[in-house]
Amino acid sequence: MTKEEANNIIAKNEAMVIGCTYNVLFTNDIVIGLTIEAVESIRKSPLYRFDTKRKVNIVEKDRLKYERLINEVIGNTSSFFADANDIFLEDIQKHVDILYYSIKREFDKVNLSFSDIIARMELARTLCEFSCLQLDKREEELQEKDKRFKKFGIDYLRLTNLLRSLSETMKTLNVPCTVNLNTEECTKAINILSVKLADANTIAKAISA
């Protein structure tokens, strides 16, 4: 496929491409922000020792690797993306907080020590997992629109390694297996957030401001 052919495909599906791309980028940026918060919280707590410390350091390496990648991708538009992301986050933050508190409440039910800190790590892990599934879904939608999108591939934006390291970190935090996060409250929170993250009007507002 030539560059001209690729540009023509994108031009014919411009609105969909823009929506999918920013949906993925904004969601990933939220995950990165939550990861930073979770790591900072753990490093200031008694949890930051032994295997947890080692796993958290791997999380940081994976986060920094993604940030370097995305900085290369957005290049000279970094300030625009930062401003757009701030606007997007203003509309989304409430729903992110709701998910956090729904997770924390489940940890509190079993009297888990440092439930606030562990809930922040689980929030980052949960949304990282969601971001990977969301990217797969967006790729599928583009390919259903035009099979030639299979040659474009945006898998490099998939937070696969970060999800793995966040999941491995959670395993070191001794969360009882009796904690069920598939509750009605948690499920409702993630479902509402998923709709908000993909909302075309919210994305358009952020990139047109």
Burial class from Cβ neighbours inside 10 Å (0-12, 13-18, 19+) for residue 60 reads middle
Integer-rounded Cα Rg, in Å, for the chain is 18
Write down the pLDDT at residue 8: 46
Cα–Cα distance for residue pair 128/149, rounded to 1 Å:
24
Write down the pLDDT at residue 9: 42
Write down the pLDDT at residue 72: 87
Quick check: 162 and 94 in contact, CB under 8 A? no
3-class DSSP state of 175: coil
Q: What is the mean pLDDT of residues 128-147?
A: 81
Q: What is the pLDDT of residues 43-53, one digit of tens each?
A: 999 999 999 99
Q: What is the pLDDT of residues 139-151, one digit of tens each?
A: 787 666 556 555 5
Cα–Cα distance for residue pair 203/206, rounded to 1 Å:
5
**Predicted confidence (pLDDT) at residue 11 exceeds the cutoff of 60:** no
